[in-house]
Amino acid sequence: MDGPLKELFKLEKLTERGQGKAPSIENSLDSLLQSLRQVKDCINAGSVTEDTYVLLAQTVEAKKKEIDEKQKEIYNGIARLGKALDKKFTQPLPTYDPLFTSDSAQAALERTIALHFLRTGQFSTAETFIQECGIFIKPELRTQFQDLHRIVLALKRQDIGPALEWSLKNREFLRKRSSPLEFYLHRSQFIRLLLAEPLDAGPAISYANATLRSFYPEHAAEFQRLMTSVLYLPKERLRRSPYADLASDSVHTDLEPLFAKEYCTSLGMSRQVPLRVIGDIGGGGALARIEKARTVMKDRRGEWSQTDELPIEIQLPPENRYHSIFACPVSKEQSTNQNPPMMMTCGHVITKDSLQKLCKSNGRVKCPYCPAESQQVNALRVLF
């Protein structure tokens, strides 16, 4: 989706006031109206001349040309966006019967969209959507999302105070999850103090002694790296050292998604925005591939026999893989609920179907990877 999103960003820039090669249409029209009012004032005052009308005609023609050029820019941007979408979505989108026909399904969809707007910080859009749909979102939930984005904006401004305050209040929750959020917040502040001008490691070391010492048992290796990085100042030298990653902006910018993930988890929500995941996976090519597979199977008069698995493999990015996958080393097939992974007494794991095929008439199975033999009934199902 990078290509279409890039063209969409360019189009949004073009439509903003004062962006692009030509003046915005609003500015051109405002300038033309001002010229018309000036001519009107001259007419009312009786001071109009032939040159006034000539100048007005020239102004109208110039502004018309500006508007035409701006519209041409916008139309070209729309055309480039269309080409990018056609290039990304080579297969036409499939058509299905309406999925959200019942009142409960419609209400669930509307609630999901409203929560998406709130979670992504589009509060004015969310309020309008909520009012038009007539759905109810608890006021405390709205307040929590507003608090989330207030803290994230503070992190963007390199202010860890609000995030640190939230972390202290929810320290027990973070410790149960073994979350490094609080440590990373202090690490960010330590590095900011360490690299501040004029160069003086004293404030950073004092800050580490006051705040980071308690994290040493859980983050000993990282604590040692922070203390050793002091030897490689200034910043230019640190970037050429084994601790160059500490001079990277990602030490600070990675705090924003980490905090958002922990905050949403504390509310019982997924770490990723659900509608964004749907768009990334479906819009990223999965929907087109599934539709193509369905068309091929229909042409070959095949049927989709399994309702819980796909007939083709869909490659997903690591952040969208939510469970472990086991492929049988014997059959090379992916395990399912009907064909789960089974561990023999020797410790090697194969799928249930492979285990049954290797089983002899007396119920014994020879492991395909070692000399051990065992009873089929002694094999244990492995749960990932």
How large a percentage of the chain has pLDDT more than 90?
46
15-19, 279-283, 302-306, 350-354: range with highest mean pLDDT: 350-354
Instruction: Give me 26's structure tokens.
Output: 């609003």
Between residues 182 and 66, which one has the greater pLDDT?
Answer: 182
From 295-309, 325-339, 357-371, the region with the lowest mean pLDDT:
295-309
Torsion of CA 19, 24, 26, 32, to 10 degrees: 140
> Residue 51 and residue 37: Cα distance in Å, rounded?
16
Question: With bands split at pLDDT 50, 70 and 90, how would you rate the model's confidence at 160?
Answer: very high
Residue 62 CA to its chain's centroid (Å):
45
If you search the block for the tokens 């290796």, which residue do you land on?
A: 221
Q: What is the pLDDT, as a whole number, of residue 222?
A: 94
> Residue 149 and residue 260: Cα distance in Å, rounded?
8
Q: What is the pLDDT, as a whole number, of residue 22?
A: 66
Question: With bands split at pLDDT 50, 70 and 90, how would you rate the model's confidence at 250?
Answer: very high
> Residue 85 and residue 235: Cα distance in Å, rounded?
43
Ramachandran angles phi, psi of 245, nearest 5°: -65, -25
Question: Which H, E and C letters describe 57-120, residue by residue?
Answer: HHHHHHHHHHHHHHHHHHHHHHHHHHHHHHHHCCCCCCCCCCCCCCHHHHHHHHHHHHHHHHHC
Q: What is the pLDDT of residues 175-217, one digit of tens each?
A: 999 999 999 999 999 999 999 988 899 999 999 999 999 999 9
If you search the block for the tokens 């001519």, which residue do you land on?
A: 39
What stretches of the chain show up as alpha helix (H) in DSSP? 2-15, 25-45, 50-88, 103-119, 123-133, 139-156, 161-169, 171-176, 181-194, 202-207, 220-228, 235-238, 250-253, 255-266, 274-281, 287-299, 352-358
> Residue 384 and residue 215: Cα distance in Å, rounded?
31
> Residue 343 and residue 369: Cα distance in Å, rounded?
12
Q: For all residues of the chain together, what is the average pLDDT?
A: 87
Instruction: Give me 146's structure tokens.
Output: 């507003």
> Residue 44 and residue 84: Cα distance in Å, rounded?
54
First and final C-alpha spacing in the chain? 32
**Arithmetic mean of pLDDT, 324-335:** 84
Q: What is the pLDDT, as a whole number, of residue 110?
A: 92
Is 78 in contact with 8 (CB distance < 8 Å)? no
Q: What is the pLDDT, as a whole number, of residue 191?
A: 95
Q: Is 336 helix (H, G, I), strand (E, B) or coil?
A: coil
